[in-house]
Amino acid sequence: MDWLFFGEISLAGLAMGGLYALIALGFVIIYKATRVINFAIGEIMMFAAYLFLAFAGGMEMSAWIALPLAVIGGSILGGVIEKTMIRPMLGESPISVVMVTIGVASILVGLVEFIWTANPQLLPSFLPREPVFIGPLYLAPKIAYGFLIGSALLIVYLLYFRFSRGGIALRATASDQAAAYSMGINVRRVFNMAWVFGSLAASLAGVLVAATGGLSPQFGIIGLSVLVVVIVGGLDSILGALVAGVFIGWLETVAGAYLGGEYRMPATFLVLAVILVIRPYGLFGTREIERV
């Protein structure tokens, strides 16, 4: 076995996993606050990445202006989706709400094809290009810097949810909506903020992932990998999202490198199936107790 190769693949996988962790965090924020499983998260990422393409490529803005703009655009999109399409579904069965997000995903794919055509596109490169070496291991610069930017946002998020007023409101809503409401927390605003923050994380990750792998209307497929991450980690666990994100990212890359690209999805879904059978609520998720 070639350990150097394995090390390099693993490193790339772990860096990719860091981005997965960021997307999964966005997913978990939305789930914790609103109990909505967001199948459209991959498409929100895609939309933000296309916005970046429009700002940086089409309007020739500097990437460092285009990036925040695209991310803000993605988070506004999340907020609008919540206000217009998720809010009316409040109290409906979870399957209906999930189907709404699937519908939203389809609409976003259509919109993107409408505006930017169905052809695959390359994002203008904006990350430094010198190769990165960690010890003897080479890491593609796009992945390395993507990981750094992603982790920075991740840390900001963790601190925000731990210490800020908004973060505490969000956690309070997640643990008990009625109690939070009676303590004067504006639950409806929290719902909206959760979608905005969740989409913000997803949007940043979307631009970073698209910068490494290119962009097309099929980009949203990545949402399936994220789904695996959050189920394995536990839908309502931030820690789970981080651990499972890194693990699934690593597994996917290693399986892709050693077994071939067609094994990427089956490998991660195998882990998913095993987890569903032995710990349906995920590695770190809360076990739900049901009463009649």
Partner 1 sequence: MRIGDAKQSYGADEAIWTSQTQKLWFGLLLVILLVFPFMADSYLLYLGCLVGIAVISTTGLNILTGFTGLISLGQAGFMGVGAYTVAWLSLNTGLPFPVTLMLAGLMAAAVGILVGLPSLRVKGLYLAIATLAASVFLHFIFAEWESVTGGMGGLSLEPAHLFGWAFQSDFMMYFIIVPLSVLMVFAARNVFRTRIGRAFIAIRDRDISAEILGIDLLRYKLMSFALSSFYAGVAGGLFAYFFRVVTPESFPLSMSIFYLAAVIVGGMGNLLGGILGAAFMTLVPEALKLLTAALTPFYPNAPVFMSPMLEIIFGALIVGFLIFEPHGLAEIWHRIRRFFRLWPFRN
Write out the residues near partner 1 by the rule CB under 8 A: 37, 85, 88-89, 92, 94-96, 98-100, 102-114, 117-118, 224, 227, 231, 262-263, 265-266, 269-270, 272-273, 276-277, 280, 290, 292
With respect to partner 1, which residue has the nearer C-beta, 100 or 238?
A: 100
With respect to partner 1, which residue has the nearer C-beta, 14 or 267?
A: 267
Query: How many CB atoms are closer than 10 A to CB 110?
Result: 11
Shortest CB 105 distance to partner 1, Å = 7
Please say whether the beta carbons of 163 and 39 come within 8 A: no
With respect to partner 1, which residue has the nearer C-beta, 29 or 235?
A: 235
Shortest CB 68 distance to partner 1, Å = 28
With respect to partner 1, which residue has the nearer C-beta, 130 or 262?
A: 262
Shortest CB 194 distance to partner 1, Å = 18
Shortest CB 231 distance to partner 1, Å = 6
Shortest CB 120 distance to partner 1, Å = 15
With respect to partner 1, which residue has the nearer C-beta, 161 or 247?
A: 247
Rounded-to-integer distance, Cα 128 and Cα 126, Å: 7
Shortest CB 163 distance to partner 1, Å = 31
Shortest CB 209 distance to partner 1, Å = 20
DSSP readout, the chain?
A: --HHHHHHHHHHHHHHHHHHHHHHHHHHHHHHHH----TTHHHHHHHHHHHHIIIIIIS---HHHHHHHHHHHHHHHHHHHIIIIIGGGTTS-HHHHHHHHHHHHHHHHHHHHHHH-SS-B-PPP-S--S-EEETTEEE-HHHHHHHHHHHHHHHHHHHHHHHSHHHHHHHHHHH-HHHHHHTT--HHHHHHHHHHHHHHHHHHHHHHHHHHH-B-GGGGGHHHHHHHHHHHH-TT-HHHHHHHHHHHHHHHHHHHHHH-GGGHHHHHHHHHHHHHHH-TT-SSPPPP----
With respect to partner 1, which residue has the nearer C-beta, 41 or 204?
A: 41
Shortest CB 64 distance to partner 1, Å = 31
Residue 15 φ/ψ, nearest 5 degrees: -65, -45
With respect to partner 1, which residue has the nearer C-beta, 39 or 145?
A: 39
With respect to partner 1, which residue has the nearer C-beta, 128 or 266?
A: 266
